[in-house]
């Protein structure tokens, strides 16, 4: 009997193969597929129908889905064929803003016209002189990707940003390791050093250091997974992943109109509770659920990290609950993935929440998000 974690892993691997074959699958569709598989079970025909309903938007992709499904979930005794080898078109066919997790714009190759076998891989296009692969963009290209607002990213930019995010996460991990190695002791205690120097005529022969605070902080992170901020949330979790080992305990939550515990693995958000990504945002209700579920864990060793645009559809914001949480934890940090000119416009109630945050940081693109996370952790 396969465990639930193993089943989820297999489903996500299948979705990755669909993307590699040119079928565009968003993070929300991946979550829907996992939820559908949980409901219908592992009976083959029911699983095929449920996942197709969640993942296939264009009937033209159905044949690719069925072919991969038959190979990936082959019955015992059946030989699993080789996976589809996509040929990149090089065209930007993105899924629009707020669609994280895009991984390539390849399409399944058309049937050969020169009599070759359908199993023979197509010839790869020659690389034009002076051009580099998308996986290793030039510095100018990197800067452009880093500074592209999340809300304006198309599929091609998301793919390039994913490559950069992998390198940025490694850099963040190395930064945290160096910081821990550089600080085996606490900071210089100036007052105790001066007091001790009185016995030696004012010469500080024996500097005194403050004792390092024992233990590590607990991290509680909330990420808005609604359509307008889903891309930013996806990259935030990807960058934050290597930093979680530097905390004592970590709890990750996703939210739209309610709170759901999540994890992040294989480049995907994995929900552990029902979460309606098409619902209308209600952060006031989310705060009430956070207080009810996590109040016993709040302490002076807790860091609360929130990523969201604070757009609450004119529902009760319940900033009083955030104030109550702020009184009990070490820090509350808010990352806003919207551009600054849009803060506190329309149905945004960011100003009401900002009063109860220790830091309010911009995170509208990959550069700002990376800078903010380095400052926090």
User: Helix H segments across the chain?
Assistant: 4-20, 27-40, 44-55, 62-72, 139-146, 155-182, 190-197, 230-240, 283-294, 319-328, 350-354, 366-376
pLDDT of residue 347: 92
Produce one character per residue of 86-121: b if its CB has 16 or more CB atoms within 10 Å, e if not.
Answer: bbeeeeeebbebbbbbbbbbbbbbeeeeeeeeeeee
- Round the average pLDDT of the chain to a whole number and report it: 79
* CA atoms of 52 and 304, how far apart (whole Å): 38
Site of tokens 């759901």: 260
Confidence band for 4, pLDDT divided at 50, 70 and 90: low
Res. 324: pLDDT tops 90: yes
| Strand pairing class (359-362; 302-307) | unpaired
DSSP letter string, 22-46: T----HHHHHHHHHHHHHH-S-HHH
Find the range with the poorest average confidence among 42-46, 113-117, 243-247: 113-117
Mean pLDDT of 331-341: 96
Domain 216-376, second-level architecture: 3-Layer(aba) Sandwich (3.40)
Q: What are the residue boundaries of the structural domains of the chain, listed by start?
A: 1-71, 216-376
Tokens of 100: 């994280």
* CA atoms of 178 and 71, how far apart (whole Å): 46
Tokens of 276: 């309606």
Confidence band for 129, pLDDT divided at 50, 70 and 90: very low
Mean pLDDT of 333-352: 95
pLDDT of residue 30: 82
* CA atoms of 163 and 135, how far apart (whole Å): 6
Res. 225: pLDDT tops 80: yes
* CA 257 to mean position of chain CA atoms: 19
pLDDT of residue 343: 96
pLDDT of residue 241: 84
| Residue 282: partners with Cβ closer than 8 Å, 6 or more residues away | 256, 257, 258, 312, 313, 315
Find the range with the poorest average confidence among 30-39, 112-121, 221-230, 327-336: 112-121
pLDDT of residue 134: 44
| Residue 61: partners with Cβ closer than 8 Å, 6 or more residues away | 22, 23
Confidence band for 216, pLDDT divided at 50, 70 and 90: confident
pLDDT of residue 367: 94
Higher pLDDT, 127 or 50: 50
pLDDT of residue 313: 92
Res. 178: pLDDT tops 50: yes
pLDDT of residue 342: 94
Sheet bearing 218-224, strands edge to edge: 268-271, 259-265, 249-255, 218-224, 302-307, 331-336, 359-362
Tokens of 53: 């309903």
Tokens of 29: 């569709």
Mean pLDDT of 187-209: 74
Confidence band for 179, pLDDT divided at 50, 70 and 90: low
Question: Strand, helix or coil at 198?
Answer: helix
Main-chain phi, psi angles of 113, to 5 degrees: -105, 0
Percentage with pLDDT > 90 across the chain:
38
Going from the C-alpha of 371 to that of each of 15, 55, 168, 377, the distances in angstroms are: 31, 34, 10, 10
Torsion of CA 47, 261, 352, 318, to 10 degrees: 90
* CA atoms of 268 and 184, how far apart (whole Å): 36
Confidence band for 75, pLDDT divided at 50, 70 and 90: low
Burial of 24 (0-12, 13-18, 19+ CB in 10 A): buried
Res. 124: pLDDT tops 50: no
Stated length of the chain: 377
pLDDT of residue 256: 95
Res. 85: pLDDT tops 70: no
């Amino acid at each position: 009997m396969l465990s639930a974690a193993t089943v989820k892993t297999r489903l996500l691997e299948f979705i990755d193969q669909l993307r590699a074959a040119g079928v565009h699958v968003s993070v929300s569709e991946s979550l829907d597929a996992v939820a559908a598989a949980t409901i219908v079970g592992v009976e083959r025909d029911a699983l095929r129908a449920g996942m197709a309903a969640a993942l296939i938007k264009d009937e033209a992709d159905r044949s690719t889905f069925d072919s991969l499904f038959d190979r990936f979930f082959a019955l015992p005794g059946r030989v699993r064929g080789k996976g589809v080898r996509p040929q990149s078109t090089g065209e930007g066919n993105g899924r629009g803003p707020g669609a994280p997790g895009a991984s390539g714009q390849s399409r399944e190759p058309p049937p050969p016209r020169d009599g070759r076998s359908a199993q023979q891989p197509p010839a790869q296009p020659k690389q034009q002189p002076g051009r580099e692969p998308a996986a290793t963009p030039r510095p100018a290209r990197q800067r452009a990707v880093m500074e592209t607002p999340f809300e304006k990213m198309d599929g091609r930019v998301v793919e390039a940003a994913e490559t950069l995010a992998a390198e940025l996460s490694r850099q963040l991990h190395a930064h945290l390791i160096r910081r821990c190695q550089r600080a085996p002791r606490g900071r210089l205690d100036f007052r105790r050093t001066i007091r001790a120097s009185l016995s030696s005529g004012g010469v500080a022969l024996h500097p005194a250091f403050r004792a390092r605070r024992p233990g590590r902080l607990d991290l509680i992170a909330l990420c808005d997974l609604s359509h307008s901020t889903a891309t930013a949330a996806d990259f935030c979790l990807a960058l934050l992943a290597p930093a979680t080992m530097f905390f004592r305990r970590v709890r990750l939550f996703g939210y739209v109109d309610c709170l759901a515990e999540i994890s992040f693995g294989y480049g995907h958000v994995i929900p552990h509770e029902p979460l309606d990504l098409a619902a209308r945002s209600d952060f006031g209700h989310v705060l009430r659920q956070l207080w009810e579920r996590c109040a016993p864990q709040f302490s002076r060793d807790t860091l609360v990290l929130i990523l969201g645009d604070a757009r609450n559809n004119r529902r009760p914001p319940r900033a009083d609950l955030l104030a109550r949480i702020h009184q009990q934890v070490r820090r509350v940090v808010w990352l806003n993935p919207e551009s600054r000119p849009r803060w506190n416009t329309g149905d945004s109630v960011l100003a009401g929440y900002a009063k109860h945050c220790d830091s309010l940081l911009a995170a509208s693109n990959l550069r700002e998000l990376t800078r903010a996370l380095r400052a926090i952790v």
